[in-house]
Every structure is written in C-alpha cells, then in structure tokens.
C-alpha cells in the first residue's frame, strides 16, 4: 500500500500541470520528480525483497514503518496538490516540495556552515554546563556546608530563563560567541545540578557504611559510591539540559552571530526565503533528535542494568 501511494504521488507530480505563479519559471522541477521517483522505486525494491524473504531483518522495520510511509505519502500529496497544482496557499509563505529541493541544492554551503557553527557552539556550551552542573551537584549533595550557601543561589537564579540574561551577557562578555556559550551553559547547568544533587543525596547510607568498614576514604566514597549511584539522575538532567540548550542556542544565534541555524532562520525570513527557512527547520529537527538519541545510546551503554528504563 505504501509503495503504491508513493507511485501515485509521483504520478500526481508529473501528470498534473503546475499552476503558474509569479513571473519566474519554477526551478528544479525535474530534479524533484527524479528524487521522488527514486524514493518510490527504492521502497518498491525493498518491499519486494522483504516479501520474497520474510526471514530477512528488513521485513520487520518495513512493517513497523508502513503506516508512517502511507501517512507521509498522503501528506506530501496534499502538500503538492494545494501548493503547486492549485496554488490555494499564498506564496512565498507556503512553497511546494520542489522549493525545498531547490533550497538544499542551491544553498547547501551556507546551510552546512550554519550547522557546523551551531554544533560547535552547542558543544562548548553543553560541555561547560554539564561539567559545571555535575561538579556543583556532587558538591552540594555531599557537603551540607556547601549546600547551605549554594542552594539558595540555585533556587534564585536557576529558574530564570537563560535568554532573559542575554542583554547582560552581551555587555559582560567580549563577543557574542562567548555570550552564547555562557547562556547555553547556564541553561544546561541548572537541570544537571539539581538532578545530580538529588541523586547524590538519595544514596542509601548503608553503602557508605559498608565502604567505610572496608577502609574507604572520603574521596573513594564520592567517586566510587556517590557518583555511580547518581548516574541515572545525572542522565535525566543531561537530557533536560540538552533540550533547554537547543532553545537557547537558536535564540542566542539570532542576536549577533554571523553563522548558525538560528542566524540562518532569521536571514531566510528577512529575505522572504521561506523555503530555505523550512529547510533549516527540517535540518534542526533531524539534528537535535539525533543528538538526543545519541545521548540515550550512551546512557543505555553506561547504565546497562537500566537499559530502556527511560524511553525516547
């Protein structure tokens, strides 16, 4: 059924003529038809191969994704019909699928440069925030004295949205890049600190008693007892911090940086290149989802005894 619908989508694109819009002829129409023709042919070949040998591992993924493939073909068909064929939606706010192909084909260097710069900015900010949050959480979870002083500051500054500090960060930091790193690190620091602190403070005291009986020193208790026991909560904090860092990343890149996905969105909107904006949004969704999936893969490997305890 999915393969048939994808072939029907190809027939819709090729057989029904486009409604003229504007003064310029549409570009990359043939390339778009070839792309969807290739996708339909690939799906048909995979379906035939899986049907011929049901024992192959290919069969189960195709069965699980079948309904999504059907829904995707229907949505793309509706999108193509109401934009390119009937022009019911106002241009350029709603572009047909070929506009996305054109955006990727013509502007991929700028988009790739924006992705690399966003990854660099996100890596620095998330790394600094995670390390700082982990150290702070372990410290206040282990030491009541530190907790007495740090806890009120955490409750006072932690819930404040990092983007609200954007004007101050641009004043105190020498560049917009370093200010963006600070904001991303701050957004990551709060959930990692809270969850790590909760994990360390909730460790069963009997573990410490057994370790002390065997001659363990305080440093051993922290590194080999408290920290491993707090890892499940730590990864939850990393997950929350990574999600918060995405929002701060986009907001920070709209305020002064020269390249990045947030900057690209603002640039595309300024030039009314809405197809480029949609292309960047798709890249952002795939990129951020992949990073969260990678984090959960690391979690499942690190916490093998709690595999799939937290779903993503």
Q: Would the pLDDT of 69 be above 80?
A: yes
Structural domain includes residue 206: yes
Indicate if 73 and 131 belong to the same structural domain. Answer: no
Q: Would the pLDDT of 34 be above 80?
A: yes
pLDDT at residue 12 in the model? 92
pLDDT at residue 278 in the model? 92
pLDDT at residue 55 in the model? 65
DSSP string, 123-167: HHHHHHHHHHHHHHHHHHHH-HHHHHHHHHHHHHHTTS-GGGGHH
Indicate if 30 and 133 belong to the same structural domain. Answer: no
Q: Is 285 exposed, middle or buried (0-12, 13-18, 19+ CB in 10 A)?
A: exposed
Indicate if 116 and 84 belong to the same structural domain. Answer: no
Reported confidence tier of residue 74, pLDDT bands at 50, 70, 90: very high
pLDDT at residue 225 in the model? 85
The CA distance from 273 to 34, in Å, is: 24
Q: Please say which residue of 35, 61, 89 terminates a domain.
A: 89
Q: Please say which residue of 89, 121, 138 terminates a domain.
A: 89
Structural domain includes residue 96: no
Q: How many CA atoms lie within 13 A of 173 on its CB side?
A: 16
Q: Would the pLDDT of 62 be above 80?
A: no
Q: Would the pLDDT of 285 be above 90?
A: yes
Mean pLDDT, rounded, of the chain:
87
- Average pLDDT on 275-288 reads 93
Collect all residues with Cβ–Cβ distance below 8 Å to 16 and sequence separation of at least 6: 81, 85
Q: Please say which residue of 32, 61, 89 terminates a domain.
A: 89
| pLDDT tens string 155-174 | 888 888 888 887 888 788 88
CA-CA-CA-CA torsion for 167, 169, 172, 176, nearest 10 degrees?
A: -100
pLDDT at residue 277 in the model? 92
Indicate if 183 and 76 belong to the same structural domain. Answer: no
pLDDT at residue 119 in the model? 93
- Average pLDDT on 243-265 reads 85
| pLDDT tens string 209-245 | 888 888 888 888 888 888 888 888 889 999 999 999 9
pLDDT at residue 185 in the model? 93
Structural domain includes residue 175: yes
Indicate if 75 and 113 belong to the same structural domain. Answer: no
Indicate if 44 and 152 belong to the same structural domain. Answer: no
Phi, psi values for residue 160, rounded to 5°: -70, 125
- Average pLDDT on 249-267 reads 85
Residue pair 126/184 in contact by the 8 Å Cβ criterion: yes
pTM score, two decimals? 0.85
The CA distance from 130 to 238, in Å, is: 7
pLDDT at residue 247 in the model? 87
CATH code of residue 267: 1.10.3720.10
- Split into its structural domains, the chain has a count of 2
pLDDT at residue 124 in the model? 94
Structural domain includes residue 312: no
Residue 49 domain boundaries: 2-89
The CA distance from 145 to 217, in Å, is: 19
| pLDDT tens string 113-124 | 999 999 999 999
């Amino acid at each position: 059924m999915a393969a048939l619908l994808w072939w029907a989508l190809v027939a819709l694109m090729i057989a029904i003529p486009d409604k003229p819009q504007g003064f310029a002829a549409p570009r990359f129409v043939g390339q778009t038809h070839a792309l969807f023709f290739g996708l339909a042919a690939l799906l048909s070949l995979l379906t035939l191969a899986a049907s011929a040998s049901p024992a192959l591992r290919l069969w189960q993924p195709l069965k699980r994704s079948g309904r999504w493939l059907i829904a995707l073909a229907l949505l793309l068909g509706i999108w193509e019909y109401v934009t390119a064929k009937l022009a019911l939606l106002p241009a350029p706010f709603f572009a047909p699928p070929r506009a996305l192909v054109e955006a990727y084909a013509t502007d991929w260097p700028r988009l790739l440069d924006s992705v690399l710069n966003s990854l660099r900015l996100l890596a620095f900010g998330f790394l600094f925030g995670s390390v700082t949050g982990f150290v702070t959480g372990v410290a206040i979870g282990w030491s009541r004295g530190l907790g007495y002083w740090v806890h009120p500051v955490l409750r006072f500054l932690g819930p404040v949205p990092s983007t609200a500090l954007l004007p101050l960060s641009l004043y105190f930091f020498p560049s917009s890049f370093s200010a963006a790193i600070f904001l991303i690190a701050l957004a990551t620091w709060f959930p990692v600190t809270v969850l790590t602190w909760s994990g360390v403070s909730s460790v069963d005291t009997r573990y410490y008693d057994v370790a002390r009986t065997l001659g363990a020193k305080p440093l051993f208790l922290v590194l080999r007892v408290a920290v491993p026991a707090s890892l499940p909560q730590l990864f939850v904090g990393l997950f929350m911090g990574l999600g918060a860092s995405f929002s701060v990343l986009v907001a920070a890149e709209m305020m002064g940086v020269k390249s990045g996905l947030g900057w690209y969105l603002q640039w595309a909107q300024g030039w009314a290149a809405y197809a480029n904006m949609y292309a960047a949004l798709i890249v952002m969704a795939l990129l951020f989802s992949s990073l969260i999936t990678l984090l959960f893969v690391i979690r499942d490997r690190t916490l093998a005894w709690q595999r799939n305890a937290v779903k993503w």
